[in-house]
């Protein structure tokens, strides 16, 4: 049985006549659950999880192409393209046809994590082969089957986000659209797991697996408080809330927001970008941004370049692909990752993908 089918069987019982969003049993891990219970559920997605130590002992980073976002709203698109390239074992980041297909398929600049889940589902079913641009091109076929699971503390639209500056512009339209997508996901039995509290240690254990990456929603206002990028030469440069990206066509000649917006496209104002995020209310500061979590490192050089408070001691760091950053790899201390990930507005969304 394919791992994807095992996930579906785990999430939905055979005698279940009608699916109800998981609210009472182990499919939704309740707030009293501990890491062991969550680990039992995730082992069904990742069978080798129990063989991993609680803290990483070696450096393991998946080889994945770095693709920059092209606008101030498409970081989720860039992350999806990076994962797609990785699933096909390609080293090139030039996926023009794929990008066009993703943008057409998603049909909005206001991208939520549930949008990315459906795109991954479409890629798994190779729906793109039905389009003229991909027909008869065997090079676009996936190298092998893969599995995925969307974990979040809220598998619904939080009405409280209407008060967030980041969400306000498109929130009214998004509520209906995204709510319908969640209902469709339930009905289509996509792999979902509602986890009120998902420890960073559990994330690290999964991402430490060979051939496993994740698309994660972070708060860019927290991420960029101490932002910096690490190049292959060991250089460190600032990646502030607004980053100048290199574009090739006329509609991109502008300075774009470093965050690209998981949930709402063109939100936020540049006048706020220079205000210390620690002095702003979450409803004013939040700026959603997707990155690809691609491994962990115990390398002392990587740890020394990792984002986070200099006074925080860490024995390892997380490796991410930040589509807003020009350099191909960025490192984060676990505590800084946790602050960015648990920031109000993210719902602690994360999609794990394993090939």
What are the pLDDT digits (tens) for 254-302?
Answer: 333 333 333 333 333 333 443 455 556 667 788 899 999 999 999 999 9
Cα–Cα distance between 92 and 68 in angstroms, integer? 13
Per-residue confidence band for 48, with pLDDT thresholds at 50, 70 and 90: low
- pLDDT tens string 209-265: 888 999 999 999 899 875 444 544 444 333 433 333 333 333 333 333 333 333 333
- pLDDT tens string 59-109: 899 999 999 999 999 999 999 999 999 998 876 656 888 899 999 999 999
**Residue 135: per-residue pLDDT:** 62
Express the helix, strand and coil content of the chain in percent, nearest 5 each.
35, 15, 50
Give the single-character DSSP code of 283. H
Enclosing H/E stretch for 257: strand 256-257
Per-residue confidence band for 314, with pLDDT thresholds at 50, 70 and 90: very high
**Residue 226: per-residue pLDDT:** 59
**Residue 20: per-residue pLDDT:** 34
Mean pLDDT of the chain: 75
When mean pLDDT is compared over 8-12, 134-138, 145-149, 347-351, the highest value belongs to: 347-351
Cα–Cα distance between 157 and 172 in angstroms, integer? 11
Cα–Cα distance between 105 and 77 in angstroms, integer? 11
Q: What percent of the chain has pLDDT over 90?
A: 41
Minimal CA–CA distance to 205: which of 13, 24, 57?
57
Minimal CA–CA distance to 81: which of 94, 351, 146, 73?
94
Predicted TM-score (pTM) above 0.95: no
Cα–Cα distance between 260 and 324 in angstroms, integer? 8
Q: What percent of the chain has pLDDT over 70?
A: 63
Query: 205: burial class by Cβ within 10 Å (0-12, 13-18, 19+)?
Result: buried
**Contact 187/7 with Cβ under 8 angstroms?**
no
**Residue 8: per-residue pLDDT:** 43
Per-residue confidence band for 129, with pLDDT thresholds at 50, 70 and 90: confident
Minimal CA–CA distance to 352: which of 207, 222, 218, 175?
207
**Residue 207: per-residue pLDDT:** 92
In the chain, where does DSSP find H-type helix?
Answer: 3-11, 35-43, 75-87, 96-106, 113-124, 165-168, 171-187, 200-207, 220-223, 282-285, 300-305, 334-342
Cα–Cα distance between 302 and 330 in angstroms, integer? 9
Higher-pLDDT residue of 125 and 9 is: 125
Q: Is the pLDDT of residue 133 over 80?
A: no
Cα–Cα distance between 77 and 97 in angstroms, integer? 13
**Structure tokens given for 7:** 């996930």
């Amino acid at each position: 049985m394919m791992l994807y089918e095992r996930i579906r069987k785990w999430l939905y019982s055979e005698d279940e006549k009608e699916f109800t969003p998981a609210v009472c049993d182990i499919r939704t891990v309740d707030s009293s659950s501990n890491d062991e219970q969550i680990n039992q559920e995730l082992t069904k997605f990742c069978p080798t999880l129990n063989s991993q130590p609680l803290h990483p002992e070696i450096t393991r980073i998946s080889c994945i192409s770095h693709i920059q976002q092209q606008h101030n709203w498409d970081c989720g698109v860039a992350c999806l393209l990076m994962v797609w390239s990785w699933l096909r074992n390609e080293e090139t980041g030039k996926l023009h046809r794929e990008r066009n297909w993703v943008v057409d398929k998603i049909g909005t600049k206001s991208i939520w994590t549930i949008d990315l889940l459906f795109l991954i589902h479409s890629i798994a079913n190779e729906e793109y082969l039905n389009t003229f641009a991909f027909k008869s091109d065997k090079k676009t076929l996936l190298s092998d089957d893969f599995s995925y699971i969307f974990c979040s503390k809220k598998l619904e639209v939080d009405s409280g986000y209407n008060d967030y500056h980041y969400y306000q512009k498109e929130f009214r339209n998004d509520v209906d659209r995204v709510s319908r997508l969640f209902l469709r996901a339930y009905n289509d039995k996509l792999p979902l797991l509602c986890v009120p509290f998902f420890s960073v240690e559990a994330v690290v254990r999964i991402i430490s697996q060979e051939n496993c990456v994740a698309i994660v929603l972070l708060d860019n206002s927290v991420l960029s408080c101490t932002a910096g990028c690490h190049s292959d030469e060991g250089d460190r440069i600032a990646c502030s809330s607004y980053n100048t990206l290199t574009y090739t066509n006329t509609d991109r000649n502008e300075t774009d927001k470093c965050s690209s917006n998981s949930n709402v496209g063109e939100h936020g104002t540049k006048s706020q970008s220079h205000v210390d995020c620690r002095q702003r209310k979450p409803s004013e500061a939040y700026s959603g941004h997707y990155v690809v979590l691609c491994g962990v490192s115990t390398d002392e050089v990587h740890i020394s370049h990792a984002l986070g408070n200099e006074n925080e001691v860490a024995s390892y760091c997380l490796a991410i692909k930040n589509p807003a950053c020009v350099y191909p790899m960025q490192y984060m201390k676990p505590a800084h990752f946790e602050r960015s990930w648990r920031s109000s507005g993210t719902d602690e969304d994360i999609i794990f993908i394993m090939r």
